[in-house]
Amino acid sequence: MDFSLSPELLDLQARVRRFVAEQVMPYEKDPRYGRHGPEESLRDELVARARDAGLLAPHASPEFGGLGLGHLSKAVVFEEAGYSSLGPTALNIHAPDEGNMHLLEVVATPRQKQRWLRPLVQGRLRSCFCMTEPPPGAGADPSMLATTAVRDGDDYVIDGLKWFITGAQGAGFAIIMARMEDGSATMFLSDMDRPGIEVERTMDAMDACFTGGHGVVRLRGLRVPAGDILGEPGQGFRYAQVRLAPARLTHCMRWLGQARRAHDEAVAHARERRAFGRPLGEHQGVGFMLADNEIDLTSARLHIWHTAWLLDQGQRGNFESSRAKVACSEAAWRVVDRCVQILGGQGVTGESVVSRIFTDMRAFRIYDGPSEVHRHSLGRKILAGRSDASLARG
C-alpha cells in the first residue's frame, strides 16, 4: 500500500484547509447555527462559498458537478473539511446527502439522476434516508422493517413511521425503505411535498451539526409511481450495503477532522495555561493524555486510509469498513473526552469549540451501526473464517 499523496492531492488538501480556516470557521458562532443544526440560510451561504471556491461535492462525479475523488483522496479532503463542524455542510459532503449521492450514482436510472442527483450534487436541495423506525421496527437490525409498500395499479402505496431521519425537515426528497408484500425490501424515491409524507416533529438530540436535525416522518397512504423505485424491486437490503459501507468510512473521515480540531485546542491550552508554576502540558498527566491523543488520531487515520485503499482497488471492504467504524468512533471519542478534561472548565462550556464537538461526537458511536453491532458482525465473520486477509495482500 502506497499512502503517499500526489502533488495534486496535496494542493487540494491545502486549498480545503485554507477555505475551512478562512471562510467556514468564522461562521461557527453564527446565531443561525442552532440546536437542530445550521439553518437553511446559513447552509446556503456556506454552500455558495464552496461553489465559488470550486470545492463543492468533491466526491461526486464530474458529470454532475463534483471533482470525482476516489476513496483515499476523499479521506484526505473530508478530514480537512471536518476540522470545522460546518465544513462538511459547506462542501456538501455531510450525511445523509453524501451517502445518498453515492447510492444514486450507483443505482439510479438516468431520469432519476437528472431529477434528484444533479440538484443534490449542486447543493440546490437536500435529501434524507428513511429507514430507521420506532420499536418494534427497524433499527440496528434492518430485517425488522415494518413500513409496507403495496402495489396499486402503476403505483405503490407506502405506510409506516420513521424516526431519527437526519435532515428530514426541509429536505427536497427522500429515499424510503419499505417492505413488499412478499417480505423483501425495496427503496423508493419520493419528493417530500407529496401528499402522504409528513415530518411530524424534529427530535431533540445531543448533536447539532446536521441541517434539518433528526425528524419523525409519517408515511400515510403515500403513492409512489413504480418508475420511482430506486434500483430493482426487492433489492433494498443489498442497496443499503452499497450505501452504508462507504458511508461508515466517510463518517470516520469527517469526525477525524473534528477530533484533530479538539486536540489542537487542547494542545494550545496546555501550552498557554499555567498551573503549579509551569505550563499545564509539562505536567505528566496532561502530557500523557496528549500523547494518547496522537496515538489514537494516527491509528484512526491508518484504519481509514487502509480501508479507503481497499475500496479504490475495487474490493467491497465491508469487513474493513465495520472494523474502521468501531476503531475510529471509539478512538475519536477518547480523544475528545481527554480534550475536555485538559481544558477543564472551558471544556464544558461554550467558551471552547471542544464542548460542541464533545456533544456532537457522542452520537458517532451509534450512527451507521452502534459499535456493539459491528463487533457482533465482525466476531461472526472471524469465527466463520470470512475475515479478509487484506493486510497481507496489501
In angstroms, the CA 161 to CA 129 distance is 13
**pTM for the complete prediction?**
0.94
pLDDT tens digits, one per residue of 290-302: 999 999 999 999 9
One domain, residues 83 and 208: no
Domain boundary, last residue among 190, 210, 233? 233
pLDDT over 50 at 259, yes or no: yes
Query: Which pLDDT value is given to residue 305?
Result: 96
Query: Which pLDDT value is given to residue 294?
Result: 98
One domain, residues 249 and 353: yes
Question: Has residue 1 been placed in a domain?
Answer: no
One domain, residues 229 and 244: no
One domain, residues 144 and 117: no
- In eight-state DSSP terms, residue 22 is I
CA distances from 70 to 66, 138, 240, 269, 345 (A): 12, 31, 20, 36, 41
In angstroms, the CA 247 to CA 257 distance is 16
> Averaged over 369-393, what is the pLDDT?
80
pLDDT tens digits, one per residue of 182-226: 999 999 999 999 999 999 999 999 999 999 999 999 999 999 999
- Strand-pair category, 148-152 with 155-166: antiparallel
345: its cell numbers: 472548565
Question: Has residue 2 been placed in a domain?
Answer: no
One domain, residues 274 and 219: no
Query: Which pLDDT value is given to residue 393?
Result: 41
Instruction: List strand residue ranges (DSSP E) for the chain, in order.
Output: 33-34, 37-38, 127-130, 148-152, 155-166, 173-179, 185-191, 197-203, 214-225, 229-230, 274-275, 278-279
One domain, residues 148 and 256: no
The rounded mean pLDDT for the chain is 95
3-state secondary structure 204-234: CCCCCCCCCCEEEEEEEEEEEEHHHEECCCC
Domain boundary, last residue among 92, 121, 150? 121
Domain boundary, last residue among 77, 97, 121? 121
Lowest mean pLDDT among 1-10, 279-288, 334-343, 347-356: 1-10
One domain, residues 257 and 342: yes
Q: What percent of the chain stands above pLDDT 90?
A: 91
In angstroms, the CA 276 to CA 370 distance is 42
Closest among 257, 270, 276 to 338, alpha carbons compared: 270
Q: What percent of the chain stands above pLDDT 70?
A: 98
One domain, residues 106 and 131: no
Query: Which pLDDT value is given to residue 391?
Result: 42
Number of domains making up the chain: 3
295: its cell numbers: 496515538
One domain, residues 175 and 207: yes
pLDDT tens digits, one per residue of 221-245: 999 999 999 999 999 999 998 888 8
Residues of the domain holding 151: 127-233
> Averaged over 46-55, what is the pLDDT?
98
CATH number (domain holding residue 49): 1.10.540.10
Query: Which pLDDT value is given to residue 392?
Result: 38
pLDDT tens digits, one per residue of 110-148: 999 999 999 999 999 999 999 999 999 999 898 999 999
In angstroms, the CA 168 to CA 129 distance is 8
pLDDT over 60 at 388, yes or no: no
One domain, residues 246 and 351: yes
